[in-house]
Amino acid sequence: MDTVEAEQPGDVRPGTRWLLVAFTVLTLLAVFQLLLLADVADRYWAWTIRTELTAAFLGAAYGGGFVLAVVALRQREWSRIRLPVITVAAFTWLTAVATLIHLHRLHLLDGGPIARVVAWVWLAVYLVVPIACLLVVVAQERRRVRVPVLRPLPDGLTVALAVEGAVFFAAGVLLFAGGMTVHHDEPRSAAAFWPWELTPLSAQVIGAWLIALGVAAALALVQGDVGRQLVAATTYTAFGLFEFVAVAWYWPQLNRHDAWLWVYLTFLAAVVLTGALGVRAARRGAAAGAAGPSSAARTTTTTSGRPAA
C-alpha cells in the first residue's frame, strides 16, 4: 500500500514556501514596474526616481530575486535554500531601515494615485516581510539537520566568491552610509564612485542589495558544499545578467569615458562568470551526491539550534 512520505526535520516548511510564493509575486511586479517601465518611475513608483538607470538597476536586482524564489520553490531541503532565504532576510531588513529613514520621500500623501498606491504597498511590504523572514528562518533553524560537507567548493570559486563578496559588501556599505549623509536636495550624488547619480533613498536600497549579496557570498564560503549552492549560484548569475540588460537598455545615458563605468562592467562580467561556474559545479556536485550518504544526514537533527556546516 502506498503511503504519503512524512515531512522530515530538514524539509522546507509550508510557511517558508508561502513566503517564497509571496516573494515571487512581489519581485515580478517590481521587475515590471522598475525594469520595463523605468522611464516612468519618476511618476509611478513609491518615490521619485530621477534616473532611469537607477530604476532599471533596481528592477534588474528584483529580477534576480524572482529567479531566486522560483528556483528555491523547487527545492525540498532547507539546507539548499537556507543561504538564499537568509540573504532575502538581510536585504529586507536593510531596505526597511532605509524606508523608515526616508519615509518622507515616499508618495504616501502626494503624487498621482498610482504612485500613492505603490508607496503604501512598498511600506506595508517592508514592514511585514522582514518580520516574516525572521520568523521563517527561526522556525527552520529549530528543525535544521546537520549536513556534512560532502563536495567542497573548488578553490577557484572560493577565491572568486571571497573577492567579489568583499567588493559587494564594501560598495554596499558605502552606498548605504552615503544615503544617510547626503540630503535629497543637495546637487550631488550619494556615491561618487557609482557610474550614475543616485539620490539618498535609491542609494540605500541599492546598497541593501549589494550588502545582501556580500552576505550571501560569505555564507556560501561558510557552508562550503558546492552541491547545495544551486539556488544561490543561479541567482548570482541572473543578477549579473539582468544588470547587463539594464546597462545595455540605457547605454546612451552613460558616460563612456567614466572609468568607474568600466570597472562596474568588468565586475558584472566576473559575477556572471563566477555564477555560471557555480551553477555547473553545483549541478555536478548534486548529481555526484545523489546516491551518496547525504540522505542519511537527514536523520540527524540539531537540538541546540546552533548553525552547522
Number of compact structural domains in the chain: 1
In a domain, 47, yes or no: yes
Q: What is the pLDDT of residue 309?
A: 40
- Residue listed under C-alpha cell 559588501: 169
In a domain, 73, yes or no: yes
In this structure, what is the dihedral angle of CA atoms 158, 163, 165, 169, given to the nearest 10 degrees? 160
Considering the domain boundaries, does residue 6 fall inside one? no
Residue 4 lies in a domain: no
Non-local (6+) Cβ contacts of 228 within 8 A are: 79, 80, 83, 147, 282, 286
pLDDT tens digits along 282-294: 988 766 655 454 4
pLDDT at 7 > cutoff 60 = no
Q: pTM of this prediction? A: 0.86
The answer to whether position 296 is within a domain reads no
Residue that wins the pLDDT comparison between 292 and 132: 132
Assigned domain for 309 exists? no
**Residue 34 forms part of a structural domain:** yes
On whether residue 52 sits in a domain, the answer given is yes
Four-residue CA torsion sign, 86, 90, 91, 93: positive
Q: Which residue has the higher pLDDT, 296 or 259?
A: 259
- Domain range holding 241? 14-288
**What single-letter amino acid sits at 219?**
L
In three-state secondary structure terms, 149 is coil
Write down the number of H helices and E strands in the chain.
9, 0
Q: What is the mean pLDDT of residues 236-253?
A: 94
